[in-house]
């Protein structure tokens, strides 16, 4: 930048140089050149001050700040990983719970269906048992009726025989033999049955 300024000042002063005294011009140019070159001790002192400033800045500000930022980044990354892990666990738990609910519903439906089938089977068994009991009771009643009828027929036969024996005694005036009695009873019973 100083070189450009110096060059521009020379260009502008060129018309002046040709018409002016060169002594007046050479002194400011010499001062400018002398001022343009840096002083070695001042430059070294400025460089050392800059180095000390950089050292203090890095030692007390930059490194702790950088460490805090890295710790914060690690903490954030760990929190993100942990939240992703917890989210995945929650989704897995929700899936497992959903599967368990579906399995429980299926088991409940199966139990209900089994109970319904069992109740229908038991109702059929009870119905069949009742029908069998009714059938047995009917057969027993029919057998009882047949037995009672046979008893009544036997009783009637015996009464008829006893009455016929007495009637024949009265009519014939004598007692009949067993053979005669059987013939008369058989004939009478066959007439009654017809």
What percent of the chain shows pLDDT beyond 90?
32
What average pLDDT does range 119-144 have in this prediction? 89
56-87 pLDDT, tens digit each = 988 888 888 889 999 999 999 999 999 999 99
Chain position carrying tokens 């010499």: 30
**How much helix, strand and coil, in percent to the nearest 5, is found in the chain?**
95, 0, 5
Q: CA-CA distances (angstroms) from residue 106 to 94, 99, 109, 119, 146?
A: 18, 10, 5, 19, 58
* Euclidean distance between CA atoms 110 and 163, whole angstroms: 77
pTM of the predicted protein model: 0.37
Q: Are 154 and 175 in contact (CB under 8 A)?
A: no
* Euclidean distance between CA atoms 75 and 77, whole angstroms: 5
Q: 133-142 burial, b if ≥16 CB within 10 A, otherwise e?
A: eeeeeeeeee
**What is the per-residue pLDDT for 16?**
46
Which residues 6+ apart lie within 8 Å of 82 measured at CB?
Answer: none
Q: Are 36 and 2 in contact (CB under 8 A)?
A: yes
**What is the per-residue pLDDT for 76?**
94
Which residues 6+ apart lie within 8 Å of 19 measured at CB?
Answer: none
Q: CA-CA distances (angstroms) from residue 147 to 22, 141, 161, 193?
A: 173, 10, 20, 18
**What is the per-residue pLDDT for 61?**
87
Which residues 6+ apart lie within 8 Å of 185 measured at CB?
Answer: 157, 160, 161, 164
Least confident range from 23-27, 50-54, 84-88, 164-168: namely 23-27
Can you give the C-alpha Rg of the chain in angstroms?
A: 70
**What is the per-residue pLDDT for 140?**
87
User: Is the pLDDT higher at 166 or at 132?
Assistant: 132
* Euclidean distance between CA atoms 96 and 104, whole angstroms: 12
Q: What is the three-class DSSP state of 66?
A: helix
């Amino acid at each position: 930048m100083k070189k450009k300024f110096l060059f521009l000042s020379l260009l502008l002063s060129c018309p002046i140089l040709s018409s002016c005294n060169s002594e007046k011009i050479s002194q400011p140019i010499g001062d400018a050149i002398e001022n343009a070159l840096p002083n070695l001790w001042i430059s070294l002192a400025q460089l050392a001050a800059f180095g000390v400033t950089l050292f203090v800045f890095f030692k007390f500000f930059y490194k702790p700040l950088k460490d805090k930022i890295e710790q914060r980044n690690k903490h954030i990354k760990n929190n993100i990983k942990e939240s992703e892990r917890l989210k995945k666990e929650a989704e897995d738990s929700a899936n497992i719970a959903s599967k368990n609910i579906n399995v429980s519903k299926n088991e409940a439906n199966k139990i209900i269906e089994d109970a319904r089938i069992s109740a229908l089977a038991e109702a059929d068994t009870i119905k069949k048992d009742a029908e069998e009991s009714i059938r047995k009771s009917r057969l027993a009643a029919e057998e009882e009726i047949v037995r009672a009828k046979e008893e009544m027929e036997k009783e009637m036969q015996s009464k008829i025989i006893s009455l016929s024996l007495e009637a024949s005694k009265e009519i014939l005036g004598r007692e009949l033999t067993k053979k005669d009695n059987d013939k008369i009873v058989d004939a009478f019973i066959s007439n009654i049955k017809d």
